[in-house]
Amino acid sequence: MKISLIVFLCLFSSLLLAKTSREERALKDIELTLQFGFDYRMATTQTGVMYYLDADNLIGFKVGDTTVDSKKQTNLTFQYKHFAGNSFYVAGEIFYLNTLDDENWVANLFLQEERYAHYSSMGAGVRIGNQWTWNHFTLGCDWVGIGQRVGVFRRDYNDSDKITFTLLNVIAGFSF
């Protein structure tokens, strides 16, 4: 009983002495992350690098290149992240998105149509999430986000859906 009480007190006291995520961010300059989840048009994996302007503001880039079956998505994103408190943030971004979908499908029994979608575009978006920092480790999630593609460089089909979405995009990495 004494040993378990001592272990509990040691663990509890270490939590009391731990710094908040905001205090940890104030000591950092660079953040390197791996991100995975649904982002833009499909489930993707991305890498990112962010620079700390101060404890509440970061700027940086992330890049992703994902291929699943006949679908491919490549993105390059410039992001500004503002923390409002200890872990909650709002992030604005400008992105370049290249999507390829060369899936064939049959429209009806008599006519076979080929569906081929390829476009390159730019857009802007916003996302909200939480991110926590402990020493040099950071973990977070873009809970939800929405974007609008505005400039199209290449379009090989009639693309009427210009909205992009983010859902449960997990962020894990190191900051120093």
pLDDT in tens, 35-59: 999 999 899 999 999 999 999 999 9
Question: Which H or E run contains 52?
Answer: strand 42-54
The whole-angstrom distance between residue 94's C-alpha and the CA centroid of its chain comes to 13
Is residue 14 one of the residues assigned to a domain? no
Q: Which residue range is the domain that position 46 belongs to?
A: 20-175
pLDDT for res 71: 86
pLDDT for res 155: 67
As a whole number of angstroms, the distance between CA 33 and CA 26 comes to: 18
pLDDT for res 157: 62
Is residue 13 one of the residues assigned to a domain? no
Look at the chain and report how many structural domains it folds into.
1
What residues in the chain have per-residue pLDDT under 70? 1-2, 4-17, 102-117, 155-161
pLDDT for res 174: 97
Is residue 71 one of the residues assigned to a domain? yes
Give this prediction's pTM: 0.80
Is residue 44 one of the residues assigned to a domain? yes
Is residue 1 one of the residues assigned to a domain? no
pLDDT for res 40: 92
For residue 68, what is the domain's CATH number? 2.40.160.20
Is residue 99 one of the residues assigned to a domain? yes
Is residue 120 one of the residues assigned to a domain? yes
Instruction: Count Cβ neighbours within 10 Å for each residue of 109-132 and write b for 16 or more, e otherwise.
Output: eeeeeeeeeebbbebebebebbbe
Is residue 2 one of the residues assigned to a domain? no
Residue 65: what are its φ and ψ, rounded to 5°? -150, 105
